[in-house]
């Protein structure tokens, strides 16, 4: 028995070390991927091509204005001062294109020689225009033809710059997709490694044969889940193509919110990897719970993002049926109490049934979002109040906490995706829960509203019609 125990201990140590090394490797890969994303984001936000296109367009516009001024001068016999003003403005526009970094950009896209040629044309015209005393001294056809050529050349440079800018932005988007794929791969690996480590810690006290069988079964289920989540994220990235501001907000939110649970997993794994034999079973179980809690936070974040993508792509059908809202509330409360058994949830549910036509699983998700927020943003010693009632062919549910509340300046944007109030920055969250909950309620034909006071708490209330209305999915 002693030999078997020693053998199992050695095997367990090796597995723990391997899992810890895998987590460290995936963290490094994830960090590298985020660095790539930040670099791409900076290049996208520079807008060099758009600035160059604007400068060239201004030069072309001033050329055509000079041409128009020349024609007006020829017709009226006056306007020498206006002509000189337009010539000076055109000189300043052309000089700006000849400076850095504009000059380097034009050289990079192969337009430097064209700009030099245009500068020579302008240099040849300047003495003629400056020394003329009136329209009778001008060779109008020659000067007009030179100005037309100059404007056409600048137009061609502008078109070429626009094409190059579009091609570079397309290349940036391709790089962004590849970087996001690496991020998803690293994140999936972290989930797999973290969950496997948790399972090994809990199962290390069991028989070797039973532990091996359960590990294979758990890995199989986890791989399937990771594959499904990865497919959903890839589909979301292909269908949405959000604006640059939304991409930047999403990347910032994910990098910030994933860092805390990943750091917890990495810290615990390193400690167990260094001295696994020094920890008694009680400490191992406690550290396993910390890893599991951190993994659940990551899973909730991914779940919120996935649900939001499915709503945007109209891939979230409603399975309506007659349900008792009180039954759904009791189920959600029971689930929440399993996650946070130390918290108090006081209920004041309506007598009898609160019948409504809804998708029970989606409404339960809304309730869990509201409960989770109430618990997250309120002190542990305070209670959460839940109430349900019936009024005017509608059923209602209210969830109230006595927490940090929502600042008045943040309240108009509280249902905006990825938005989080300034006093919530230190709490784990993705900024998707309330937006997702409001969309689900509105799909059922109901409303989600709130009242809140900073420092005193918030109360969120949703309503559902007793008969079927709204979208059918």
Q: What confidence tens digit (pLDDT) does each residue in 122-145 have?
A: 888 888 777 776 656 667 777 888
Residue 194: exposure state from Cβ atoms within 10 A (0-12, 13-18, ≥19):
buried
Rounded CA gap, 123 and 111, in Å? Answer: 18
Rounded CA gap, 360 and 399, in Å? Answer: 18
Report field, pTM of the whole predicted structure over 0.75: no
41 confidence band (pLDDT: 50, 70, 90): low
**Lowest-confidence region among 183-192, 327-336, 448-457:** 183-192
Rounded CA gap, 269 and 19, in Å? Answer: 8
The pLDDT score that the predictor gives to residue 5 is 47
Strands of 227-365 (E only): list them. 321-324, 344-348, 355-358
362 in Cβ contact with 440 (< 8 Å): yes
**Per-residue pLDDT for 294 more than 60?**
yes
Q: Which of 53-62, 291-300, 388-397 has the highest mean pLDDT?
A: 388-397
**Lowest-confidence region among 64-73, 249-258, 311-320, 327-336:** 249-258
What count of Cα atoms within 13 Å lies in the side-chain half-sphere of residue 64? Answer: 10
461 confidence band (pLDDT: 50, 70, 90): very high
- How distant, in Å, are the alpha carbons of 90, 314, 414 from that of 448? 58, 20, 12
435 vs 395, higher pLDDT: 395
Task: Provide the 10 A C-beta neighbour count for residue 219.
Answer: 14
The pLDDT tens digits for 150-175 are 888 888 888 888 888 888 888 878 88
**Lowest-confidence region among 221-225, 247-251, 351-355:** 247-251
Rounded CA gap, 28 and 21, in Å? Answer: 11
Q: Edge-to-edge strand order for the sheet containing 394-400? A: 344-348, 383-391, 394-400, 457-465, 447-453
Rounded CA gap, 193 and 25, in Å? Answer: 10
The pLDDT score that the predictor gives to residue 354 is 93
């Amino acid at each position: 028995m002693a030999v078997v125990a020693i053998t199992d201990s050695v095997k367990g140590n090796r597995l723990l070390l391997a899992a810890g090394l895998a987590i460290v490797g995936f963290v490094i890969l994830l960090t590298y991927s985020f660095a790539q994303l930040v670099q791409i984001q900076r290049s996208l936000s520079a807008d060099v091509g758009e600035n160059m296109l604007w400068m060239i367009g201004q030069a072309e516009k001033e050329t055509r204005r000079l041409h128009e001024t020349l024609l007006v001068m020829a017709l009226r016999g006056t306007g020498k001062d206006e002509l000189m003003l337009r010539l000076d403005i055109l000189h300043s526009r052309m000089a700006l294109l000849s400076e850095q970094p504009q000059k380097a950009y034009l050289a990079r896209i192969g337009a430097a020689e064209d700009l030099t040629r245009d500068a020579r044309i302008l240099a040849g015209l300047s003495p003629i225009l400056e020394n003329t005393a009136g329209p009778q001294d001008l060779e109008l056809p020659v000067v007009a033809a030179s100005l037309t050529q100059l404007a056409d050349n600048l137009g061609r440079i502008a078109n070429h710059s626009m094409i190059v800018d579009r091609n570079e932005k397309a290349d940036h988007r391709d790089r962004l997709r590849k970087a996001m794929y690496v991020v998803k791969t690293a994140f999936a690996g972290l989930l797999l490694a973290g969950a496997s480590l948790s399972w090994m810690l809990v199962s290390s006290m069991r028989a070797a044969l039973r532990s091996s069988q359960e590990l294979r079964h758990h890995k199989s289920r986890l791989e399937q889940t990771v594959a499904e989540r990865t497919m959903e994220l890839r589909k979301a990235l292909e269908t949405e193509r959000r604006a640059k501001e939304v991409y930047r907000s999403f990347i910032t939110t994910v990098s910030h919110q994933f860092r805390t649970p990943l750091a917890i997993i990495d810290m615990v794994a390193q400690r167990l990897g260094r001295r696994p034999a020094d920890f008694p079973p009680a400490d191992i179980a406690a550290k396993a719970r910390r890893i599991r809690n951190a993994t659940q936070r990551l899973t909730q974040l991914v779940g919120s993002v996935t649900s939001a993508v499915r709503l945007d792509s109209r891939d979230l059908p409603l399975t309506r049926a007659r349900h008792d809202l009180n039954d759904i509330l009791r189920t959600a409360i029971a689930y929440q109490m399993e996650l946070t058994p130390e918290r108090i949830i006081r209920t004041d549910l309506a007598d009898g049934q609160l019948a409504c036509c809804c998708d029970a699983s989606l409404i339960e998700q809304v309730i869990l979002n509201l409960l989770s927020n109430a618990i997250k943003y309120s002190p542990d010693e305070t209670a959460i109040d839940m109430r349900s009632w019936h009024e005017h062919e509608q059923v209602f549910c209210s969830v109230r906490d006595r927490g940090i509340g929502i600042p008045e300046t943040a309240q108009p944007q509280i249902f905006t995706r990825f938005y989080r109030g300034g006093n919530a920055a230190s709490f784990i969250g993705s900024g998707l829960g309330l937006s997702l909950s409001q969309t689900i309620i509105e799909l059922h034909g109901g409303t989600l509203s709130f009242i809140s006071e900073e420092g005193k708490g918030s109360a969120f209330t949703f309503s559902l019609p007793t008969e079927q209305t709204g979208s059918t999915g």
